[in-house]
Structure 1
């Protein structure tokens, strides 16, 4: 397994992140435990979850599944860099969502109980809270850290200027601030390259891409259709996205075939080549899906392949001008 530091910290994490959103709603507890065991067998130590995961069968269910896995012992918790999130509603009453000091305190304690642990390695804000001042947020996070309940703080779905505002507010309090940002980032959605990635690199914030396969569209969906296999990318908004980019996806799958790689592996490998990316989140529903994702760690993309991927999925550049972070300059 290849490891890297999380942002500017000294914390070593695997370059693939095990996402657990499917644990409970899509993946049985038995298979979820098997996937986590297999992750450790292959050296993956970075697990990501959230308090709202499991919402289809019950909010908090995913954390509970992980907690019961930790409870089986054998050093499972000690070998895991555990990341969870708060923000989404966990109930119908006021102050059961967002980032007030009250909800930060309550949400953290509730996650600790479900996860059956006494500390969270990386506590992430699942979304920006536009109504709570940074002074309140950082004070609440500082209290949790002083109590030993969290070690690091991260964000998710923040804009570049949100990262800057958060870091400058943390600096005023002589705090480390954010060490990671989870962003929607894949070959189809490269908007974070304009401001989020440059801001993250400037502040030493590690970027953790979510949805690296674009909801399955980059996972070989056309090949699966030809083979008669079902795919979630053939229905709903994924189907609309596929229809919009069908010619590009056809060419992309051909490129993967020419390279002798699975399209999903190619998409993950491309992210691993991007400056500032700590590691993409893989969200396997089955042990077999987990095994196939590991191949991305072995793939090295040459300049010709990277250039071809840029041709198929051009980086965003307003006015068709300079690349990020100077895309808005003239």
Structure 2
């Protein structure tokens, strides 16, 4: 396994991050335990979750599964850099979600209890809260740090200017500020290249791409359909929107002699500021398959060809102005 620093911090994390969103709704608890154990065997030490995962309001199903896995001992907690998120509603009352100081305090304590741990390595805002000033956000996060309940703070789904505003507010408070941004980024979705990635680079944030395979579109979907695999209605619509590009992409992966999913992950690992794409395996076999991406070295010619298939963005404002 390859490791890197998380942004400008001294924290070392694996270059693949284990996403746990399937734990509970899709993957059983026993299988989730097996996947997390095997992730450690492969050297993956970076796990990502959220208080809303499990998708039953207020239950924190996925965090509870992780907590019961930590409780099995064997150094499981000590070997894991655990990242969780808050923002989504965990109840029906007005302050049961978002980023007020009140919810930050309550949500952190609830996540700690569910995960049966006394600290969270990386506590992330799942979305920007336009109603909460960053001064309030940082005061609440700094208190959690002082209490030893969290170590680092990250963002998710922030625009470039949100990152800048958050960092400048933190700077005025002599606070470390954000150390990472979790963005929707892959070969198809490349908008973060305009302003999010430049902001992350300038402020020293590690980029953690979610949905690195565009919900499966970059995972060899045409091959799977040819073998009789069915696709959801939404996936079928997305495929038709991008079919020409996906056909070219899978043909190019054939030329490289590599699985499309691994090429998609490898491409991200070649991109500026990227710390670790979030992988979401539903089975042990899927988890094993992802490690090949770490070994793929894409030459300049291959990267150029991928840019031709999936055109990216220049840094703003040069993308649209002189």
Q: What is the TM-score with the length of structure 2 in the denominator?
A: 0.98
After superposition, the C-alpha distances for 1:193-222 in whole angstroms (9 at most, x for unaligned) are 000000000000000000000010100000
**Counterpart in 1 of 2:109?**
109
Corresponding position: 1:95 with 2:95: yes
State yes or no: 1:243 paired with 2:240. yes
Q: Does 1:282 align with 2:290?
A: no
Select which of 249, 253, 256 maps to 1:256: 253
Unaligned runs of 5+ in 1: 318-322
Number of aligned residues: 322
Paired residues for 1:35-114 under 5 Å: 35-56=35-56, 59-114=59-114
Shift of 1:58: 6.7
Report the Cα distance in structure 2 between the residues aligned to 1:57 and 1:104, rounded to whole angstroms. Answer: 17
Counterpart in the other structure of 1:308: 305
Conserved? CA contact 2:57–2:90, under 8 Å: no
Give the distance between the partners of 1:32 and 1:209, measured in 2 at CA.
Answer: 22
Partner of 2:270: 273
Shift >4 Å, 4+ stretches: none
SS in 1 for 2:216: coil
**What RMSD in Å do the two structures reach over aligned CA positions?**
1.1
Which residue of 1 is the match for residue 31 of structure 2?
31
Q: Could you say what secondary structure the match of 1:245 adopts?
A: helix
- When structure 1 is superposed on structure 2, of 160-169 and 308-317 the one drifting more is 308-317
8 Å CA contact 1:24–1:57 kept in 2: the answer is: no
Residue 126 of structure 1: aligned partner = 126
- Give the drift of 1:94: 1.1
| Pairwise CA distance, 1:247 | 1.1
1:6-25 alignment, distance < 5 Å: 6-25=6-25
Cα distance in structure 1, aligned partners of 2:123 and 2:129: 15
Q: Is the 8 A contact 2:58 2:89 kept in 1?
A: no
Aligned position for 2:319: 327
Would the aligned equivalents of 1:193 and 1:325 in 2 still touch at CA under 8 Å?
no
Aligned residues of 1:185 and 1:209 also touching (Cα < 8 A) = yes
Q: What SS does the aligned partner of 1:122 have?
A: strand
CA distance in 2, matches of 1:189, 1:313: 9
Q: Deviations over 1:250-304 (max 9, x none)?
A: 1100111111111000000000000100010000111111111111011100111
SS of aligned partner of 1:85: strand
Mapped partners of 1:67, 1:130: distance in 2: 31
Deviation string 1:8-36 (CA, Å, 9 cap, x unpaired) is: 00000000000000000000001100000
User: What's the CA shift for 1:329?
Assistant: 3.5
Aligned mates of 2:22, 2:44 — CA distance in 1: 18
Mapping 1:170-181, distance limit 5 Å: 170-181=170-181
CA spacing shift, 1:91–1:57, aligned 2, 3 Å: closer
Give the CA deviation at 1:324. Answer: 4.7
Match for residue 161 of structure 1?
Answer: 161
Whether the 8 Å contact between 1:25 and 1:54 is mirrored in structure 2 is yes
CA contact (8 A) 1:198 1:325 kept: no
Show the counterpart of 1:196. Answer: 196
* 2: CA distance, partners of 1:312 / 1:288: 29
CA deviation digits over 1:27-70, x for unaligned, max 9? 00011000000010011000000000001597300000000000
What does 1:292-303 align with in structure 2 at a 5 Å threshold?
292-303=289-300
